Amino acid sequence: MTKNDSSKPTNFIHQIIEEDLKNGVNDGKVVTRFPPEPNGYLHIGHAKSICLNFGTALKYGGQCNLRFDDTNPEKESQEYIDSIVSDVRWLGFEWSGDIRYTSDYFDTLHEWALHLINEGKAYVDSLSAHEMREYRGTLTEPGKNSPYRDRSVEENLDLFEKMRAGAFDEGDCVLRAKIDMAAANINLRDPVIYRIRKAHHHQSGDKWCIYPSYDFAHGQSDALEGVTHSICTLEFEDHRPLYDWFVENLPVPAKPRQYEFARLNLNYTVTSKRKLKLLVDEQKVNGWNDPRMPTISGLRRRGYTPASIRNFCDMIGVTRSNGIVDMGMLEAAVREDLDANAPRAMCVLDPIKLTITNMPEGELAWFELPAHPKDEAMGIRKVPFTRNLLIEREDFAEVPPKKWKRLAPGEAVRLRGAYVIRCEEVVLDETGEVVELKASFDPQTHGANPTDYKPNGVIHWVSADNAVPCEVRAYERLFTEPNPDGDKERDFHEFINPESLVVYPRAHAEIGLKHAAVESRYQFERQGYFCVDPDTTENRMVFNRTVGLRDSWAKIQGK
Ligand code: ATP
Ligand code: MG
């Protein structure tokens, strides 16, 4: 991506930065960071944060770091790190320098914890977790000082060293900043800055058995990296005074500032790694990259393009007011991109045999169709017309309703890009189900205006003799409720859509798609946008439906 893309919409963070630049703050530098915790795959909410952090650095010619916020080793893994790295790159962003880890700074953070102890601003507390909660007070009542709050510097240094050396068990004690147990902001009531975790760490191995808390690590890591604008979501607003307290009370090399924006909430899905992990662990979906998941890797597999996700993030903007964005907006973003860029093809999802009685067996006529109706540069595609064709079962009605625009007994339709045909015979099996249609074509009708054959409409088709048998997976929303997370009484599991995946095992795509690469995207005419799934093998192609041609969900909802 190019820098200084001033066509990108601006937002309140950019206004703050422009003000800073005008006043010469931070020597005119803009440094941001994207700080994922490697405890799950990234989701569409993270895409908003990625676009904001990397996009801001690009816009102002600054730098954006990728930093893994890895202070909870039990929940983290290399698999998550790898997936996050690959998702950020796929979205089209490149970080400044090497990948960074909060664990890179564990030595410095430990020194700074000692610094606070020496200054009388931190103490080892031996209250149990339960007692600590009791002493903390509530929103309306102040907290109480811990009986261990006045331990001497020497005792604290000794106990903290014992914590570090593994002399205590998890939960025996913690290191707390000594701030104010009566502070109105609960985050300032002597927050925990180090706790014991006897866990192997994916980066630092077994070097540490004490780990810094998020609050203690985050701002200091920002300072060490020279981050100027530390952008996070609104739930950290109440942590800002603590962020500032550490920056004020430690010998940090820079003074970063924290700014908060509203997180992205999307309807008909959940954007919480914890809940997404449950869906994966309980096998409600087929892994983190299941195309129904709102993860970046799920959207990718579903057929979303990086540009469509970036455009979506631009469309929703960056504000400080929480709201819920309609899934339809995300779908509209990919539809717009694929409408302009995806070549067209025909694919029959649920086929019914159509025999062209006046086309001799073994004969073949090639039709040339544009790959894209509005983009000649995409060239043409060749589609074979033969005696044995397939059309969509739902494009035929034995007893057509009024204003039927498709095929019916005795009626004529145009086969897209080819001839007009008239249905002359309907073959039923013993159960009365239609198994075959017989029709004749009028050779006059290709290109010319039909005279005798007045077609009802246009339907898609493929040659049964020359098509690619494939499986098509059509996805619906993962939840039936707009806000599956919003009902305190009911668990989000209750709203999982049992019909979120519909498989068409006998689909047939036009022959030109035979060697289509995994992830290549097409518009299947009259159907929607589809992409080649990685489950594709040499013998069997698999397509995913990214999105329909129109917002069919709005129609279902009666909007
Ligand atoms: P989750 O709640 O899904 O576990 P998280 O906030 O714990 O998310 P992190 O890995 O800590 O996930 O997030 C990395 C960055 O992405 C943070 O700066 C966070 O504020 C931001 N982020 C996470 N979720 C969203 C969201 N829904 N909208 C915007 N930004 C988000
Ligand atoms: Mg987090």
Q: Across the strands, what pairs with 167?
A: none
Which ligand does the CA of 88 lie closest to? 1
**Residue 424 sits in the same domain as residue 509:** no
pLDDT of residue 486: 81
Say which of 29, 121, 197, 263 is annotated catalytic: 263
CA–CA gap between residue 219 and residue 222 (Å, rounded): 5
CATH number, domain containing residue 403: 2.40.240.10
CA–CA gap between residue 542 and residue 559 (Å, rounded): 32
- The alpha carbon of 450 and the centre of ligand 1 are apart by a number of angstroms equal to 59
pLDDT of residue 485: 86
Q: What burial class does residue 39 get, using C-beta atoms within 10 Å of its C-beta: 0-12 exposed, 13-18 middle, 19+ buried?
A: middle
Question: Is the beta carbon of 38 within 6 A of some atom in ligand 1?
Answer: no
CA–CA gap between residue 203 and residue 485 (Å, rounded): 34
Q: Across the strands, what pairs with 211?
A: 195
**Residue 140 sits in the same domain as residue 189:** yes
Percentage of the residues of the chain whose pLDDT score is greater than 70: 96
Give the residue whose CA is nearest to atom 2 of ligand 1.
Answer: 272
Atom of ligand 1 nearest to the CA of 38: 10
Asked whether residue 413 is assigned to any structural domain, the reply reads yes
**Residue 222 sits in the same domain as residue 320:** no
**Residue 476 sits in the same domain as residue 453:** no
pLDDT of residue 3: 47
* Residues 6+ away with beta carbon under 8 Å from 206: 200
pTM of the model: 0.94
Structure confidence by residue, pLDDT tens digits, 306-318: 999 999 999 999 9
Residue 56, both tokens: 């801001």
Instruction: Dump strand ranges (E) for 210-361.
Output: 210-212, 229-233, 257-261, 344-345, 347-348, 351-356
- Is residue 327 helix, strand or coil? helix
Mutate to test the pocket of ligand 1, among 39, 46, 261 (most ligand atoms within 8 A of CB): 46
Q: What burial class does residue 251 get, using C-beta atoms within 10 Å of its C-beta: 0-12 exposed, 13-18 middle, 19+ buried?
A: exposed
- The alpha carbon of 210 and the centre of ligand 1 are apart by a number of angstroms equal to 24
**Confidence class of residue 294 from pLDDT cuts 50, 70 and 90?**
very high
Of the residues 213, 239, 265, the one at which a domain ends: 265
Residue with tokens 């564990």: 106
Mean pLDDT over 456-460 rounds to 93
Does 69 carry a binding-site annotation? yes
Q: List, as own/partner pairs, every contact residues 371-377 make where C-beta atoms lie below 8 angstroms and the sequence separation is at least 24, other chains included.
A: 371/343, 371/344, 372/342, 372/343, 372/344, 373/344, 374/340, 375/340
**Residue 238 sits in the same domain as residue 315:** no
- The alpha carbon of 61 and the centre of ligand 1 are apart by a number of angstroms equal to 24
Query: Does residue 166 or residue 443 have the better pLDDT?
Result: 166
Percentage of the residues of the chain whose pLDDT score is greater than 90: 92
Mean pLDDT of the chain: 95
**Residue 529 sits in the same domain as residue 451:** no
Does 44 carry a binding-site annotation? yes
Structural domain boundaries, residue 122: 12-265
Does 38 carry a binding-site annotation? yes
- The alpha carbon of 186 and the centre of ligand 1 are apart by a number of angstroms equal to 22
Write the DSSP symbol of residue 148. T
Judge contact between 216 and 109, C-beta under 8 A: yes
Does 110 carry a binding-site annotation? no
CATH number, domain containing residue 300: 1.10.1160.10
Give the residue whose CA is nearest to atom 29 of ligand 1.
Answer: 263
CA–CA gap between residue 257 and residue 240 (Å, rounded): 9
**Residue 462 sits in the same domain as residue 492:** no
Judge contact between 446 and 438, C-beta under 8 A: no
- The alpha carbon of 49 and the centre of ligand 1 are apart by a number of angstroms equal to 7
Structural domain count, the chain: 3
Does 405 carry a binding-site annotation? no
**pLDDT exceeds cutoff 90 at 231:** yes
CA–CA gap between residue 326 and residue 482 (Å, rounded): 9
What's at 21, amino acid-wise?
A: L
Asked whether residue 5 is assigned to any structural domain, the reply reads no
Question: Is the beta carbon of 218 within 6 A of some atom in ligand 1?
Answer: no
Size of the chain in residues: 559
**Residue 424 sits in the same domain as residue 435:** yes
**Residue 220 sits in the same domain as residue 272:** no
**pLDDT exceeds cutoff 50 at 336:** yes
Write the DSSP symbol of residue 512. G
CA–CA gap between residue 556 and residue 559 (Å, rounded): 8
Of the residues 429, 450, 466, the one at which a domain ends: 466
Structure confidence by residue, pLDDT tens digits, 182-198: 999 999 999 999 999 99
Q: How many CB atoms sit inside 10 A of residue 132's CB?
A: 18
Asked whether residue 46 is assigned to any structural domain, the reply reads yes
Q: Across the chain, how many H-helices and E-strands are there? A: 13, 25
Phi then psi dihedrals of residue 84, to 5 deg: -65, -45
Question: Is the beta carbon of 72 within 6 A of some atom in ligand 1?
Answer: no
Structure confidence by residue, pLDDT tens digits, 350-363: 999 999 999 999 99
Instruction: Dump strand ranges (E) for 378-485.
Output: 380-385, 388-392, 412-415, 420-428, 434-442, 458-459, 461-463, 467-475
pLDDT of residue 451: 54
Asked whether residue 1 is assigned to any structural domain, the reply reads no
333's enclosing H/E stretch is helix 327-341
Query: Does residue 9 or residue 252 have the better pLDDT?
Result: 252
**pLDDT exceeds cutoff 60 at 5:** no
First to last CA, the chain: 38
Active site residue 263: yes
Structure confidence by residue, pLDDT tens digits, 460-509: 999 999 999 999 999 999 999 999 988 778 899 999 999 999 999 999 99
**pLDDT exceeds cutoff 70 at 447:** no
Task: Tell which phi-psi region holds residue 11, choosing left (phi > 0), alpha (psi between -120 and 50) or beta.
Answer: beta
**Confidence class of residue 558 from pLDDT cuts 50, 70 and 90?**
very low
Structure confidence by residue, pLDDT tens digits, 380-418: 999 999 999 999 999 999 999 999 999 999 999 999 999
**pLDDT exceeds cutoff 80 at 454:** no
Active site residue 488: no
Asked whether residue 4 is assigned to any structural domain, the reply reads no
Of the residues 447, 466, 485, the one at which a domain ends: 466
Lowest mean pLDDT among 294-298, 348-352, 451-455: 451-455
Active site residue 273: yes
**Residue 289 sits in the same domain as residue 241:** no
Asked whether residue 287 is assigned to any structural domain, the reply reads yes
Question: Per residue in 454-479, is it b (16+ CB within 10 Å) or e — as a string?
Answer: ebbebbbbbbbbbbbebbbbbbbbbb
Question: Is the beta carbon of 48 within 6 A of some atom in ligand 1?
Answer: yes
**Residue 314 sits in the same domain as residue 350:** no
Q: Across the strands, what pairs with 421?
A: 413, 441
Atom of ligand 1 nearest to the CA of 235: 20
Structure confidence by residue, pLDDT tens digits, 8-50: 558 999 999 999 999 999 999 999 999 999 999 999 999 999 9
Structure confidence by residue, pLDDT tens digits, 253-275: 999 999 999 999 999 999 999 99
Q: What burial class does residue 136 get, using C-beta atoms within 10 Å of its C-beta: 0-12 exposed, 13-18 middle, 19+ buried?
A: middle
**Residue 309 sits in the same domain as residue 225:** no
Asked whether residue 3 is assigned to any structural domain, the reply reads no
CATH number, domain containing residue 78: 3.40.50.620
Asked whether residue 242 is assigned to any structural domain, the reply reads yes
Structure confidence by residue, pLDDT tens digits, 129-181: 999 999 999 999 999 999 999 999 999 999 999 999 999 999 999 999 999 99
pLDDT of residue 559: 41
